[in-house]
Amino acid sequence: MLSINDLHFSFFTPAGEVRALNGVSLDVASGEVVGIVGESGSGKSVTASVITGLTQAPGRVKSGEVMFNEIDILSTGEKAMQKIRGGEISMIFQDPMTSLNPVFTIGNQLIEAILLHTDKNHKEARAHAIHMMSQVGIPNPEIRMKQYSHELSGGMRQRVMIAMALSCEPKLLIADEPTTALDVTVQAQILDLMKTLRSETDAAVILITHDLGIVADICDTVVVMYAGTVVERGTVDEIYDNTAHPYTRGLLDCLPRLDGDTDSPLEPIEGLPVDLLNMPPGCPFASRCKHTMNICLTTPSPEFELSESHTSRCWLHTASRKAEVRA
């Protein structure tokens, strides 16, 4: 349904070229839930913005291809994208405060979105908006419809965004940190709602999150990003039980655990994130990796195939022979 091929994207800033995406490839089938995890600044949101055609200057696609159901997104004009966005492709943004308009009521914005993308009339749109608000667990939807975004709690704003994204039954839902501001019980409810969307309409979901618990709970496939590249991908079981890339290992090791020891400090990944203005020639993770070898400093690793569904970009796999370089 969605296929991204070798996407390169940079921000051309006064300070230089910020290489946000350096050859990202990604496939999503209908009915599939793909989780994207990775360091802050690794290009997850930028990837989402390219898919939805919402990239902003000074950012520009340098090369690559994004196909959505036979539509070439990168050559589609803004007019046509507006129709697709919020309709067939729907997005829940990471920052609900900036994506809700402060001068219109919540209800106004929801109804507008529904009118734009469905053939409902105003009355039906209003009823649907109220229905969606209660679906995402907002009490007193009629009253809340008349409020402005600053009058809602962080989690409520986020739920309004979710209601808006789901209200037009998208074929592809891109959810960027959809539940960070929600408590776990509401989060469980929202995740159930996404599962329902998937099973009833066969929609695909791309879920961008830092929460490896959520990923384990609802994703089929996981894509791990680092410095604008996909360093590992696989099924959930492969990623958690057969972790291949040292960065992914680092991610799993730095989580506080519910039954963990609270007296010793957590174990963050050592070192600083790469400077996308000055990308190192070799593996972007080399300066922070516990297993760095000479080749890591000079040449980026190709994608090694560990199983049909599992790949990893790490030179360590040459030693294990089993892996084969993917063309």
Ligand X SMILES: Nc1ncnc2c1ncn2[C@@H]1O[C@H](COP(=O)(O)OP(=O)(O)OP(=O)(O)O)[C@@H](O)[C@H]1O
Binding residues for other proteins restricted to 219-238, rule: CB under 8 A: 236-237
Question: How far lies 200's CA from each of 30, 219, 301, in Å?
Answer: 12, 17, 40
> Which region, judged by CB under 6 A, interacts with ligand X, from 11-19, 74-82, 96-104, 319-327?
11-19
Of 6 and 237, the one with the shorter C-beta distance to other proteins is: 237
> Which region, judged by CB under 8 A, interacts with other proteins, from 109-117, 195-203, 255-263, 279-287?
255-263
Of 120 and 210, the one with the shorter C-beta distance to ligand X is: 210
x/- letters, 134..153, toward other proteins (CB under 8 A): x--xxxx--x--xx---xxx
CB of 115 to other proteins, least distance (A): 23
Provide the token pair at 234: 């696989």
User: What DSSP line would sit under 244-298, residue for residue?
Assistant: -SHHHHHHHHT---TTS-SSSPP-PPPS----TTS--SS-TTGGG-TT--HHHHH
Q: Does 287 help bind other proteins (rule: CB under 8 A)?
A: no
What SS3 string covers 86-155? CCCEEEECCCHHHHCCCCCCHHHHHHHHHHHHCCCCHHHHHHHHHHHHHHCCCCCHHHHHCCCHHHCCHH
Q: Does 41 help bind ligand X (rule: CB under 6 A)?
A: yes
Q: Does 129 help bind other proteins (rule: CB under 8 A)?
A: no
Q: Are 89 and 51 in contact (CB under 8 A)?
A: yes
Describe the strand order of the beta sheet including 33-38 as a list of residue ranges. Answer: 89-92, 172-176, 204-208, 33-38, 221-226, 229-235, 311-312, 304-305, 324-325
Q: Are 162 and 178 in contact (CB under 8 A)?
A: yes
CB of 294 to Mg ion, least distance (A): 34
Q: Does 291 help bind other proteins (rule: CB under 8 A)?
A: no
Q: Does 295 help bind ligand X (rule: CB under 6 A)?
A: no
Nearest alpha-carbon partner for 18 in 52, 75, 73, 57: 57
Of 77 and 139, the one with the shorter C-beta distance to other proteins is: 139
Nearest alpha-carbon partner for 21 in 51, 52, 49, 42: 42
Of 116 and 181, the one with the shorter C-beta distance to ligand X is: 181
Binding residues for other proteins restricted to 158-187, rule: CB under 8 A: 158-159, 177, 180-187
Q: Which stretches of the chain bind other proteins, using CB under 8 A?
A: 11, 13, 15, 18, 38-41, 45, 94-95, 97-98, 134, 137-140, 143, 146-147, 151-156, 158-159, 177, 180-188, 191, 210-217, 236-237, 240-241, 250-252, 254-260, 262, 265-269, 272, 275
Q: Which stretches of the chain bind ligand X, using CB under 6 A?
A: 11, 13, 18, 20, 40-46, 94, 151-156, 181, 276
